[in-house]
Chains A and B, each alone.
Chain A
């Protein structure tokens, strides 16, 4: 299921009902929306650059770098939303016949692991950003400082970590396609 799990239902997910969940879900949605806007911006830039190369032989300078950066940020921004929707992929073949309680417990542990890993990555990305700022590391073509690119991944992973904690606390429900509710 690492591919697109298509939305089979036409209903918009109302999301969690409690205040914390509601807050996190709203932020995750906003974050994913921001990611999508960035992706469209990357598309527009790329098209503009291709058109420039074709029509006048002058592509946008550093278009590849800008698309790379936009996509990296967009991807990180989408991560928490997928966690709130329980969309991150698991293998449930071996535990399919285990009692529901066992599955729920395992899912909570999995969410905690995700929360911990995301927190570590957010922290290390931050450290990496500070170091890049100190060393003046910059992108190859545009010469933009890279520290802020590293930094932009932080919020996505931080929010991912929080959503992981939330799903570990509330218990996550993996709604596999084909699994009866």
Chain B
């Protein structure tokens, strides 16, 4: 049996293990180990295991992940989400659909602190949903906007998935963050436009709220500006090359904790919740990373990704057809899997294919960055589509009287905006690359 054949068999085995409820990380670890033994033998695998955990957990670029998780958790327990929402609502609430737009704006703001969509959806949902219902927004629009808005958590940098992609694709984390910014903002505006249209097409779906006067607005802004400043410094520092992303996360964590404690929004109980929440998420992510490391080490040994890439290149398929095929695979996988696992499972296989094809004459670095942002946008769609749209579940669990069907219906128009944005990014790579070039990432 050639090692390429073993590669395909192991891929199949891993998927079977996944389907049988083995932990995702462990399924990849077991599949990868069996393949490793088949190709190289037992002793090399055991020798590789000696440095596996430390080698993976001590990567400096990955140290950013637990630190950002800590910062996001503290920010979410520190009352920051409510202030963000109050500030955006002070400016947008009086428009038709304005409260939902404010929720989306606040999700985007929160996404600039938090690298996770689920946390963004849950945190902003708790804050904004009662307000949306008080203003008698239709259940579909209220929950749909929040579920979709939650995906901004990961589309707007910093983003855990982008960090992982950067490491897999051997790209600069800061450059990935730069590349994600404009597409993330387009996502935010796209969602706001959807709300505006929705509120006009469906009468009474999103009634206008009371207009705030300027003094009231200034109060809301005054309550939010310290934390906004912190994050402008943190993210600006990464973009400006003043800090590494890991240092930025450290500065952000300390500053957020200090602000939350000073403003007395974070009590001891909230703090322990935040810390244990961060511990749990860290463990979840790194167990998957550990398994993916074994699987990828085996894939590299088996040469299967290269063989597949060769086959695709030799088959004469057009680059556009290949890209569409990849997007379709992500949309399908998104029905059963979370975004991080999808990226870890597929990038080692898809990236060599994409790198071998010509897209708009991009150089290899640009192509890798652009494809990463595109993949990020596509995998996020899985969070708001049935059957396992996690964001939808989270928002729906906050509003138990609204049927799940209603929430999925409310998400549909946002999905349309997602697809338009993906098409735009596929056709105009400059949307992501322009900022990277300007800032010299």
Contact = CB atoms under 8 A, between A and B. Distances in A.
Main secondary structure of the interface of B (DSSP, over half): helix
Nearest to B33: A117
A47 interface: yes
A21 B122 CA distance: 29
A124 B49 CA distance: 6
Given A114-B23, A150-B54, A4 B69 contact: yes
Interface residues of B, number: 84
B279 A32 contact: yes
B50 A124 contact: yes
B406 interface: no
A78 B279 contact: yes
B54 A128 contact: yes
B339 A91 contact: no
Contacts of B280: 4-5, 32, 78, 81-82, 85, 87
B284 A47 contact: no
A88 B161 CA distance: 17
Given A46-B246, A81-B283, A2 B288 contact: yes
B394 A177 contact: yes
A157 B76 CA distance: 30
Contacts of B72: 4
Contacts of B122: 6, 8
Interface string B1-38: 00000000000000000111111111001100000000
Main secondary structure of the interface of A (DSSP, over half): helix
Contacts of B63: 42, 67-68, 71
Contacts of B73: 4
A72 B54 contact: yes
A75 B58 CA distance: 9
B26 A2 contact: no
Contact of A75 (B23, B116, B249, B286): B286
6 contacts: A2-B339, A4-B118, A42-B250, A124-B52, A125-B54, A153-B54
Question: When A and B form their complex, which 5 residue pairs have the shortest distance between CB atoms, in order from nearest?
Answer: A178-B393, A128-B50, A46-B250, A82-B283, A6-B122
Given A2-B341, A50-B247, 6 more contacts: A6-B119, A42-B67, A72-B54, A75-B282, A78-B283, A78-B286
Interface of B: 18-26, 29-30, 46, 49-54, 57-60, 62-63, 66-67, 69-70, 72-73, 76, 114-119, 122-123, 154, 160-161, 243, 246-247, 249-251, 253-254, 272-273, 275-288, 290, 335-341, 387-388, 390, 392-394, 396-398, 404
